[in-house]
Structure 1
């Protein structure tokens, strides 16, 4: 598996054309932690394992979250917080690697 920085990048000219679009609807099912927080986040699921959502906390801080999951069990997450003045307050990133047992 190659690092992302060494993989070929898609040229914009290759992105033109017809796409098959799938629409999905879902009903949130709350776990114990979500019931306590009553956090209802609508997540945007895009092709290629990309997800995104936008959330505003009780202090008015806007959080923009973008994630990517690979078939190899790697999850990359980037979150950006913006204050009520619209200025960037904080950037967070996480990398998760799924541990698989070799047989």
Structure 2
């Protein structure tokens, strides 16, 4: 029971990181009016994940062990790529804004 808790905690932290990066980007680029739309997207994504999880559980049950490990590995790699891309996109945005405005800090 503890291992699934740790996995869900890690996934929740990753999701929170992505949402915070997007919110930070929107605020820093004076697009704060889109924050509400972002939260609607977060809620829709959560509902989609819940629905997909229920669908998979009801139709196929569990993956065999080998396929489950492959699936987890692929999802983990995709998560790392997305998070890395978001961090670099954020850093690039800050650098562009600083060069445009001549500001020395965020």
**Fold shared per TM-score above 0.5:** no
Task: Give the number of the structure whose residues are more often strand, by fraction.
Answer: 1
Give the number of the structure with larger relative contact order, counting CA–CA contacts within 8 Å between residues 6 or more apart: 2
TM-score (norm 2): 0.22
